[in-house]
Amino acid sequence: MGHHFVLNLGAVDSTVLFAVLAAVVLVLGGGVAVLRRRSHNTTGAPQTAPAPAPAPAPAPAPAPPVPVDVDDVTSSELVSLEQSPPEASSLQIGAEFESFSVPDLQATPEVVESPTVEGSLRKSRGLFSSLRAARRLKAIDEETWEDLEATMLRADVGVATTAQVLAALKEQVKSGAITDDRSLFEGLKAQLVAVLLQTTRPSNGELARSTSLGAVTVWLVVGVNGVGKTTTIGKLASRAGGQGMKVLLAAGDTFRAAAGEQLASWGDRSDSDVVRGAAGGDPSAIIFDALQRAKAKNYDVVLADTAGRLHNKVNLVEELKKIRRVADKEPGEVTEVLLVIDATTGQNALVQARQFTEAVSVTGVVLTKLDGTAKGGVVLAIEAELGIPVRFIGVGEGLHDLLVFEPKAFIDALVGDEQLG
């Protein structure tokens, strides 16, 4: 017997039907009332009346405001995005509206557990897990390709890379190399890893250091505002310090009055020294000072922060070029220019990346905020369309929430493990 319940209205007496309907209305009304009461009194006595439907998820607490400048093109995009970490607190500096956020040290003690790429890609992997579940044990047909394409695009893999990967997989189905859903997902992973392996990256994942005698290594960090440059500098400084390097931070973002304060705070947390200048001053002069100090006091690396304003793109480009020139002058040697990209901006990230690569030759990307976004596939779009290797991924706001990017581990975590699907 099947589990089908059919109500034959013709056979039911109309008064009985009326009574049944009235009872349903009463029960539903009661249920809604219970839900209302529950939402106001979560600690009250247990309710006995059955709820007609699962209680809706509680509305998320209002996110703290993302620090933005209203006149900035990119920040206005950022406001609409889902990020805004709950534990961030905003510090107001001076009487201006300038603000920045650093995690509240008292409220959030430094996370002891090391983050994992699997944990950080939870949301992105959710897309592929759903697809796996939907296609499980089903034959590969036109719907399979449509679903796969939709999933890849939703994960922000990008149109070109998605088309290329799908074409390769279809070929493999034709040749008999892929026969079922299981081999399809294995094939997908292999194709995605292959895309990432086309880009060259240092095998040990480390940032390059100058090999010239007496030179000061400079790592320049660039990117539009709010993407996580300063936070990433704190994380990289902590990492380099942990490897025994003596690190000096240069507060090259003089656009914002609070930027130097924020970098100083990361200097404290990562146990690094900081060179700062006056707000509105010449960033190149600060980089120059940092180089002199680094040379005199035997620092191994200068990590330079920069401003990320785009409302006057020409000036930004010129300023970045100048900073790079100065940082590359003796005793400095720029060995890395890291472009920080916010993963939550998805395909917009590519447009930004192109603008920055025009200005300074970028040696690597740090993709931040991968935690809490389903757009993890943007890694593939960045690498395939720009040819720039993603070197690190930012997976949280803490000092240690930075992982070396490893193609295979990343794709395994993104597409998921066979057993999970």
Ligand X SMILES: Nc1nc2c(ncn2[C@@H]2O[C@H](COP(=O)(O)OP(=O)(O)OP(=O)(O)O)[C@@H](O)[C@H]2O)c(=O)[nH]1
| Residues lying near Mg ion in the complex (CB under 5 A) | 229-230
Any contact of residue 222 with ligand X (CB under 6 A)? no
User: What whole-number distance in Å separates Cα of residue 309 and Cα of residue 323?
Assistant: 15
Stretch that binds ligand X, among 144-152, 349-357, 369-377, 407-415 (CB under 6 A): 369-377
CB closer to Mg ion out of 230 and 284: 230
User: What whole-number distance in Å separates Cα of residue 379 and Cα of residue 188?
Assistant: 15
Structural contact between residues 377 and 390, judged by C-beta atoms closer than 8 angstroms: no
* Adjacency order of strands within the sheet including 273-275: 273-275, 247-252, 301-306, 216-222, 332-342, 364-368, 390-394, 402-404
**401 contact, one of Mg ion, ligand X, none, CB 5-8 Å limit per kind:** ligand X
Return the amino acid letter for 319: E
Structural contact between residues 356 and 342, judged by C-beta atoms closer than 8 angstroms: no
What is the closest distance, in whole angstroms, from the C-beta atom of residue 226 to ligand X in the complex?
5
Tell whether omega for the bond before 50 is within 30 degrees of 0, i.e. cis.
no
Tokens 């090391």 locate to 114
Any contact of residue 88 with ligand X (CB under 6 A)? yes
Tokens 């590359």 locate to 328
List all residues 6 or more positions away from 357 whose beta carbon is below 8 Å from its beta carbon. Answer: 339, 386, 388
Any contact of residue 228 with ligand X (CB under 6 A)? yes
Among 98, 156, 253, 261, the residue binding ligand X under the rule CB under 6 A is 253
Q: Of 379-408, which residues contact ligand X (CB under 6 A)?
A: 394-397, 401
As a whole number of Å, the end-to-end CA separation of the chain is 31
CB closer to ligand X out of 223 and 332: 223
Please, how many CA atoms are within 13 Å of residue 167, restricted to the half-sphere of its CB? Answer: 6
Print the binding letters for residues 295-334 with ligand X: x by CB under 6 A, - otherwise.
-------------x--------------------------
**227 contact, one of Mg ion, ligand X, none, CB 5-8 Å limit per kind:** ligand X
**Alpha helix segments (H runs only) across 107-228:** 117-120, 122-135, 142-154, 159-174, 181-197
Any contact of residue 117 with ligand X (CB under 6 A)? no
**85 contact, one of ligand X, Mg ion, none, CB 5-8 Å limit per kind:** ligand X
**332 contact, one of ligand X, Mg ion, none, CB 5-8 Å limit per kind:** none
User: What whole-number distance in Å separates Cα of residue 226 and Cα of residue 343?
Assistant: 12
What is the SS3 assignment for 306-321?
ECCCCCCHHHHHHHHH
The residue at minimum Cβ distance from Mg ion is 230
Any contact of residue 369 with ligand X (CB under 6 A)? yes
**412 contact, one of Mg ion, ligand X, none, CB 5-8 Å limit per kind:** none
Is residue 363 helix, strand or coil?
A: coil
Any contact of residue 225 with ligand X (CB under 6 A)? yes
What is the closest distance, in whole angstroms, from the C-beta atom of residue 218 to Mg ion in the complex?
17
Query: Among residues 301, 280, 383, which one has the least CA distance to residue 341?
Result: 383
CB closer to Mg ion out of 229 and 324: 229
CB closer to ligand X out of 227 and 236: 227
Any contact of residue 259 with ligand X (CB under 6 A)? yes
Among 231, 348, 352, 363, the residue binding ligand X under the rule CB under 6 A is 231
**101 contact, one of ligand X, Mg ion, none, CB 5-8 Å limit per kind:** ligand X
User: What whole-number distance in Å separates Cα of residue 316 and Cα of residue 313?
Assistant: 5
Among 302, 368, 379, 412, the residue binding ligand X under the rule CB under 6 A is 368
Any contact of residue 371 with ligand X (CB under 6 A)? yes
For the record, the structure tokens of 228 come out as 């996580």
**383 contact, one of ligand X, Mg ion, none, CB 5-8 Å limit per kind:** none
Contact set with ligand X (CB under 6 A): 85, 88, 100-101, 223, 225-231, 253, 259, 308, 368-369, 371-372, 394-397, 401
